[in-house]
Amino acid sequence: MKIAVIVGSLRAASYNKTLARVIVAKLPQGTEVEYVDLVDVPFMNEDLEAAVPEVVATAAEQVAHADGVLIVSPEYNRGIPAVTKNIIDWLSRPSTGNPLAGKPVAIAGISSGPIKTLVMQSQLRPVLAHTGAHVMTGPVLALTLGADNMAADGVLSTATEAVVDRFAAAMTQHIALYQEMA
């Protein structure tokens, strides 16, 4: 199984990058993982589509060749961060081959706020569905940073470890289901 991982945070010490690594570590042995680099992705602009920027073409290729996608993103101001929405906008365009269409996708996130990433996830699901992606509906993985969930270094509480295990197993099943259907 091959997974493309999109982390919707550009911060070097991102909690969401840490959470992505924690989830990836729980995937079945032999799973191939490629992280999609968003650092230099320009804002989606139809003027750029005649010659899709190389970084965008690379991201589209990574997603196209993956069996599934894991999006791990923070929530900014009760919404989808611009970097997360931007890559989805690019990956939904004919100029990139709309590699999200038909692709199984799982969403997770962590933040320091009490609402976790629940609002972002509720907004992101219909956006992804509109692209034709097959979005996993549950279990939801939305954490608050802290010793009772996940510490900044990725150490999970016992209860959260079980939640992340269930999420990784469900994601694996979700992707396998669509592999069988293909």
pLDDT band, very low/low/confident/very high, at 26 (cuts 50, 70, 90): very high
Strand pairing report for 104-111 and 32-36 = unpaired
Residue 138 has what pLDDT?
Answer: 94
pTM of the model: 0.97
Cβ neighbors of 122 (< 8 A, separation 6 or more) are: none
Q: Which CATH architecture has domain 2-181?
A: 3-Layer(aba) Sandwich (3.40)
Note whether 80 and 120 are within 8 A (CB): yes
**Structural domain boundaries in the chain:** 2-181
- Is 9 a residue whose pLDDT tops 90? yes
User: What is the average pLDDT across 61-67?
Assistant: 98
Cβ neighbors of 93 (< 8 A, separation 6 or more) are: 44, 49
CA nearest neighbour of 173 among 134, 142, 132: 134
- Is 182 a residue whose pLDDT tops 80? no
